[in-house]
Amino acid sequence: MRRSLPVVLLAPIIMSAVQWEVERIPNPTDANFGYPILALDEQGHARVLFTEEFSSLKLASNATGEWVITEVGQGTLGYYYSMDIDADGNVFVVYECVTREDDPDIFFACDTSGEFAPRNLTDDSGIQTSPIIRLDNDGTPYLMYTDVQDNEAELFFGEINPEGLKAEQVVDNLWPWYYNGYDLCFDNNNAAHIFYPGDNETYLWHAFSDENLANWTQEEIHSHESGTPTVFKDASGKLHVAYMDMFGARGRIHYLTNRSGTWTDELVSDNAPPEGGNERPSVYLDPEGNPHTVFLCSTEDWSYDVHYVCKSGETWAEEEVTSIPEKDEFPGFDRYFAIDAQGYAHLVYCTEDANFICQVYYAKSKEPVAVGIAEKPADIPLRNLEVRGSTVRFSLPESAYVCLSLYDASGRRVDHIASGYYPEGEHSIPVNSDLLSYGVYFVRAEIGDQAVSAKLIISL
């Protein structure tokens, strides 16, 4: 483990409508650091996962106020790895690593015990690649990955538990050349949702389960060439997707949502140069409920810059985030962009020069990207908090960020129920009481510095 003070750099960012503070993740050696991805804890601290020379997987954290770098795993690593973080700040990681006959397996590691101890989840023949890990609303880790046998690609999904992995095929029409082109999330009922390119024309598809993670249904969203979707779930359970479509030889960025009850698709960016293209968007919502997307824009000579686009009202505004003529700037192949509860945007990427030397950078917006959030009062009252059966109910006079936790009678926190931005009005949130022993508990709702509690009784 290494500790280093952050280094603030001025050159890699063009100051525009959103101004960014940029740090290079400390590199104490001459090795290449590259392909970073990002996750935030509930306090808005960053976890950045990246490779060193594709032989060591590293995790950088700024939760202590300075960057702390920890090794996650070693081996012959690929480009594809993924992470998620639970309510207590524990990090869950999956990655591909070659173990035999040049075929990769999927490895899993988490730091709940204080250190990472990788274990092989798919010690099988064939190729297991492009893993995605996501935690459900109860903090249980689930893995999605591609299994390739005899040039046939199938998408598998399953729970990671102490005994290993229990996975099954859930998608049979994955476009085989887009191993890394899908994403996963869970709705408020813990049903799983997968977005992926399917069939030979790489159309955008949506596969979803019931709340028991069974009885999967597939639907075709549209029938034009699409790829690399990412998905974000808001506090009300609605889904927000960014993806690229292959318009001729160029990529265009789209935003898709079922916020209105049906799928609505909007063209976000069509500003790539004539011989370039846009690709690999990462989507997030700010605490005001506005969508934001970061994506790669390639120029005529296929050098990469990072672009940012946000929507306020009916208007999308695009700007260039990075532009270094002699270097490419690009992230890893999972989520690399996020917005914290205070409305600040976070972004990770690496730069690569003509000699293919890479360094990792972390950027945070100097001001909240949500319009007006800095002036929003912190004393928004939460009204009518109560528990009926196993459901928490409350109302808000205006929109606010709410965190719901469960405590036992001794005051020990036993579960994170939900957190997120909730609009004005009435809300009901289910509590998973199946694993709770009989007794008295308290649901605690927090808005800023305020806290309100309600009693929950688990009886025979």
Tens of pLDDT, residue by residue over 290-321, are 899 999 988 766 678 899 999 877 788 888 89
Q: Is the pLDDT of residue 448 over 80?
A: no
193-235 pLDDT per residue, tens: 999 998 766 789 999 999 999 999 999 998 888 889 999 998 8
Q: Is the pLDDT of residue 390 over 70?
A: yes
Q: Give the mean model confidence (pLDDT) for residues 130-145.
A: 95
User: Is residue 292 domain-shared with residue 401, that is, in the same domain?
Assistant: no
User: Is residue 153 domain-shared with residue 299, that is, in the same domain?
Assistant: yes
Residue of 454 and 47 predicted with greater confidence: 47
Domain CATH for 441: 2.60.40.3080
User: Are 350 and 360 a contacting pair, CB within 8 Å?
Assistant: yes
Host domain of residue 306: 2-373
Q: Is the pLDDT of residue 92 over 60?
A: yes
Helix (H) or strand (E) holding 159: strand 152-161
Q: Give the mean model confidence (pLDDT) for residues 146-174.
A: 89
Helix (H) or strand (E) holding 415: strand 413-422
Distances from the Cα of 1 to the Cαs of 41, 62, 109, 362, in angstroms? 20, 13, 16, 19
Q: Which residue has the tokens 């960053």?
A: 46
Last residue of a domain, one of 351, 373, 395: 373
Last residue of a domain, one of 309, 340, 373: 373
Distances from the Cα of 453 to the Cαs of 172, 385, 441, 446, 456, in angstroms? 46, 7, 10, 9, 10
DSSP one-letter string for 175-228: -TT-TT--EEEE-TT--EEEEEEETTTTEEEEEE--TTS-S-EEEEEESS-EEE
Last residue of a domain, one of 346, 373, 400: 373
Count how many domains the chain has.
Answer: 2
User: Is residue 369 domain-shared with residue 381, that is, in the same domain?
Assistant: no
Percent of the chain with pLDDT over 70: 88
313-345 pLDDT per residue, tens: 778 888 889 877 677 899 999 999 999 988 899
Split at pLDDT 50, 70, 90, the class of 75 is very high
Residue-level pLDDT at 415: 78
User: Are 36 and 27 a contacting pair, CB within 8 Å?
Assistant: no
62-73 pLDDT per residue, tens: 998 999 999 999
Q: Give the mean model confidence (pLDDT) for residues 445-457.
A: 82
Residue-level pLDDT at 256: 95
Residue of 353 and 282 predicted with greater confidence: 282
Split at pLDDT 50, 70, 90, the class of 34 is very high
Dist. CA 371–CA 182, nearest whole Å: 30
User: Is residue 20 domain-shared with residue 132, that is, in the same domain?
Assistant: yes
User: Is residue 37 domain-shared with residue 92, that is, in the same domain?
Assistant: yes
Residue-level pLDDT at 110: 96
User: Is residue 366 domain-shared with residue 395, that is, in the same domain?
Assistant: no
246-280 pLDDT per residue, tens: 765 568 899 999 998 899 999 998 877 666 678 89
User: Is residue 141 domain-shared with residue 244, that is, in the same domain?
Assistant: yes
Residue-level pLDDT at 21: 93
Split at pLDDT 50, 70, 90, the class of 28 is confident
Q: Is the pLDDT of residue 2 over 50?
A: no
Domain CATH for 245: 2.120.10.70
Residue-level pLDDT at 247: 60
Average pLDDT, the chain: 85
User: Is residue 169 domain-shared with residue 102, that is, in the same domain?
Assistant: yes
User: Is residue 277 domain-shared with residue 243, that is, in the same domain?
Assistant: yes
User: Is residue 317 domain-shared with residue 245, that is, in the same domain?
Assistant: yes
Q: Is the pLDDT of residue 422 over 90?
A: no
Dist. CA 458–CA 435, nearest whole Å: 11
Closest by Cα among 447, 335, 315 to 383: 447
User: Is residue 235 domain-shared with residue 114, that is, in the same domain?
Assistant: yes
User: Is residue 121 domain-shared with residue 226, that is, in the same domain?
Assistant: yes
- Please list the alpha-helical segments (H only) found in 87-149: none
